[in-house]
């Protein structure tokens, strides 16, 4: 099971070109095999959609400052040599898929085939309004956008005629290094999103779900993929975690990847036993983890815990 880490590009106190390079270098030296970016457009002062992972419905304060995720991945590609570079997750309905395909192809080419694409639908009504995408259409637009990406990456000349997106017969000859295209993972939770992932994606990228829930849902998605005529053995699992270390163990009602070092070690072992291809730690959502030094320290501690699991 590969181990990855969230690439620092969030927070006024930490996100800077020099700090991104430092995170890249330390992650590589510690043996991490991947780095991931998040996707956030802005920090709404009076949000219409509460953030589901906080008591007051607000995003953590560090999300007031976010360097564009794809630009950060391109920058990181120049400062790493072997690590995979991923999005977790990009909100697909925010983007025109034709232009997005061009950006993602560039990153895969410039990194020599190291892109992992984690995609989601998004939840912020404020951000949907700002980017001009109807919130109620996010699912149908995402399904069509996935088809656009795959069409651009696997055909030449390219032609697409959908409800939302149309491409006249055109030459788009620059293709990703990875064939047939960079692996696509979906951060799906609802039944419709799970169905979309099973039909169009190469794997699932869950977060915050207990081990038993991951096992049950992943088995169901593989079965659904098979019903769509796909090989379920090729449907992969990458688990995104938000680890929170405590000095003492927490009770049985604790959230996954929260608790003592031993409890986190048990979670790592359980995810590995599930057959996950990768587990990565994203600490940019963790309260109090805002400086470069805190990120680097936690990166080191989590690698030691994971190696001992």
pLDDT digits (tens, 9 = 90+) for 29-65: 999 999 999 999 999 999 999 888 777 888 888 899 9
Residues 222-242 have pLDDT tens digits of 999 999 999 999 999 999 999
pLDDT band at 103 (very low <50, low <70, confident <90, very high): very high
What percent of the chain shows pLDDT beyond 70?
Answer: 100
Residues 252-301 have pLDDT tens digits of 999 999 999 999 999 999 999 999 999 999 998 887 888 999 999 999 99
pLDDT attached to residue 58: 85
Residues 140-193 have pLDDT tens digits of 999 999 999 999 999 999 999 999 999 999 999 999 999 999 999 999 999 999
CB-CB contact of 256 with 209 (8 Å): yes
Mean pLDDT of 117-124: 96
Residues 71-93 have pLDDT tens digits of 999 999 999 999 999 999 999 99
pLDDT attached to residue 44: 93
pLDDT attached to residue 242: 94
pLDDT attached to residue 55: 78
pLDDT attached to residue 53: 76
CB-CB contact of 72 with 9 (8 Å): yes
Choose between 54 and 99: higher pLDDT. 99
CATH superfamily, domain at 2-308:
Luciferase-like domain (3.20.20.30)
pLDDT attached to residue 82: 94
């Amino acid at each position: 099971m590969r181990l990855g880490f969230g690439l620092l590009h969030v927070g006024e106190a930490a996100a800077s070109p020099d700090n991104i390079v430092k995170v890249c270098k330390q992650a590589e030296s510690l043996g991490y095999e991947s780095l991931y970016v998040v996707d956030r457009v802005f920090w709404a002062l009076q949000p219409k959609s509460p953030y589901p992972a906080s008591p007051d419905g607000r995003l953590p304060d560090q999300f007031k400052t976010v360097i564009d995720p794809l630009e950060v991945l391109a920058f990181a590609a120049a400062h790493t040599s072997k690590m995979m570079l991923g999005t977790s997750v990009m909100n697909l309905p925010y983007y025109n898929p034709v232009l997005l395909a061009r950006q993602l192809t560039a990153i895969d080419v410039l990194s020599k085939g190291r892109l992992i694409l984690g995609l989601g639908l998004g939840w912020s009504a404020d951000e949907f309004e700002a980017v001009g995408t109807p919130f109620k259409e996010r699912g149908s637009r995402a399904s069509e956008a996935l088809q656009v990406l795959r069409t651009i990456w696997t055909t030449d000349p390219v032609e697409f005629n959908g409800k939302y997106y149309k491409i006249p017969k055109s030459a788009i000859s620059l293709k990703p290094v990875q064939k047939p295209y960079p692996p696509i993972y979906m951060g799906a939770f609802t039944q419709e999103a799970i169905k979309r992932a099973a039909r169009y994606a190469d794997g699932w990228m869950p977060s915050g779900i207990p081990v038993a829930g991951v096992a049950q849902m992943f088995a169901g998605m593989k079965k659904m993929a098979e019903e769509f005529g796909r090989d379920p053995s090729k449907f992969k699992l990458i688990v995104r975690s938000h680890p929170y270390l405590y000095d003492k163990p927490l009770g049985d009602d604790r959230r996954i990847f929260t608790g003592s070092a031993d409890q986190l070690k048990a979670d790592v072992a359980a995810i590995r036993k599930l057959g996950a291809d990768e587990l990565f730690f994203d600490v940019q959502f963790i309260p109090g983890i805002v400086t470069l030094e805190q990120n680097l320290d936690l990166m080191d501690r989590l690698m030691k815990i994971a190696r001992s699991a």
